[in-house]
Structure 1
Amino acid sequence: MMNELQRFLKKNKFSNSEWENRGLNPSSLELSQKMYELLNDCCQNLIVLSENGATNKAFKKELKKGLATFNKADFDTEEREFICDYFLELSQIVEVNFKDELYKWLYGSLLNGMLKVASIFKGSSKVIETLSQDCTNCHAKLETFITKKEDGIPDFAFDIVKCNSCGEFNMIDKGPNIHSLTFGEYQLVEQLKKTEYTEEQAKVRLEQIRYWRK
């Protein structure tokens, strides 16, 4: 563990070649240096904990503190995913399950406040319509069960979902007038507001998610 943490500390994490390996143009030197220093601060603290025989809980607490030093508003989507890749690497070195924290930091709340998901309520709701499409990888049925519709509710988002059968990420476009629903064999990962994303931009975002979570 100590050797891996020392290696991570010395690595030139935001060199031009590292950006190019991700198919991206480098961020500014100032921003790259900021990310480098914040990551190394966290790594240094993990090294101290390792030297003192820290518990898994202590490592996880330090990772959370380190991630909190990154202000999301300072970084674009690609930079945030790059940061998360490195925190994932650190978490694997210290043998901590940190994916949930990274997903929350990266994507925020999974459900838009405009959408009420029927499955979170007690009891069952009658399904009035079923939307279905095939997973692009395993061809399993990705079904969305509509339990209530109401005129005037806009078609506000593209849904990025994860197939329960194979783990592939897919995009679902549900349409308007949906008041409440529940999911079939998939998990909701991210919602892309149509006021911010065209269909082509949403597809690009889908590919980014596939890359980051592969």
Structure 2
Amino acid sequence: MKETIVNNTILALEKLKSTEKFSSEEWENRGLNSSEKSLCITLENSFNDLLTNLISANNTKKSDKEIENIFERHFKEIKSDELDTEEKEFVLDYFAEIATILNIRSINEKLNFWTYGIEAYDHEEVERKASEKILAEEKKRHEILSILCQKCKVQLETFILERDNEIPTFEFDIIKCIKCSELNILDKGCGIKRYRFLNYELIEELSKEEYDLPKALQRLEQLKMRIKATE
């Protein structure tokens, strides 16, 4: 089973590597004009180097931690302050796609910090910068779904990057506040094609084919009780 997962991971990485990730067509698909050719070449080479190293690491059965370190090293080599907002989002989407292939949830937090210009996690600093500048700017550009953590009352925010009204609502999300670790339930609703989140991490997705809201809330309480039992 594990061998199959590794093989599927390698195939997905090789497929992404074989595509021209920063071609004019890809920029057009995002409704944007292509950036300078030199930048596109630099980004293309950088991602191909990352993908080559990840493919090699999976082939040689490196540990998850070693693979994550490779990802982070390349991630930190990107000079985000030299990219405009659209370029940064484009790059982040590819990092997020690779993280999904690798199944590294923890990297999502680092992606969010990079998005909002925060180098190291400090919750008070996150709140201050978000309220004063960063989130204010993002709110002008993106729709934001926000709920309060039931325990610490911090804003758990979902940035809607792209909508498609034909996409139905599939699931309830059980999410964990990164400030206090409290579990909360989130219903993003329908029509969401791409999104990024801040101040929480995804724990479990509950299909609406199996769960209505009462059942989802019951599952939430089960997980909370399980956590308490291990404390």
SS, match of residue 45 in structure 2: helix
Match of 2:116 among 81, 88, 107: 107
Match of 2:54 among 46, 56, 63: 46
Match of 2:147 among 164, 176, 194: 164
**TM-score (norm: length of structure 1):** 0.57
**TM-score (norm: length of structure 2):** 0.53
For residue 212 of structure 1, report the CA deviation from its aligned partner.
Answer: 4.6
- Structure 1 runs of 4+ aligned residues shifted over 4 Å read 159-162, 206-212
Q: Which letter does structure 2 place at the counterpart of 1:72?
A: S
- Greater relative CO (CA pairs within 8 A, separation 6+): 1
Larger Rg over CA atoms: 1
1:63-212 matches, cutoff 5 A: 63-97=71-105, 98-109=107-118, 110-112=126-128, 157=133, 158=136, 160=139, 162-164=145-147, 184=153, 186-187=155-156, 208=161, 211-212=194-195
Percent identity of equivalent pairs: 26
Q: Which letter does structure 2 place at the counterpart of 1:104?
A: F
Which blocks of at least 5 consecutive residues in structure 2 are unaligned? 1-8, 119-125, 164-193, 198-231
SS, match of residue 128 in structure 2: coil
Contact preservation (8 Å) 2:145, 2:160 = no
Q: Which letter does structure 2 place at the counterpart of 1:101?
A: K
RMSD of Structure 2 on Structure 1 (CA): 3.0
| Cα deviations by residue, 1:97-146 (Å, 9 ceiling, x for unpaired) | 1211111111133233697xxxxxxxxxxxxxxxxxxxxxxxxxxxxxxx
For residue 69 of structure 1, report the CA deviation from its aligned partner.
Answer: 1.0
What is the distance in 1 between the residues matched to 2:70 and 2:45?
15
What is the distance in 2 between the residues matched to 1:82 and 1:12?
13
What is the distance in 1 between the residues matched to 2:51 and 2:11?
12
Which blocks of at least 5 consecutive residues in structure 1 are unaligned? 116-155, 166-182, 190-205
| Cα deviations by residue, 1:141-200 (Å, 9 ceiling, x for unpaired) | xxxxxxxxxxxxxxx5538564237xxxxxxxxxxxxxxxxx7462368xxxxxxxxxxx
What is the distance in 2 between the residues matched to 1:93 and 1:16?
24
Count, aligned residues: 142
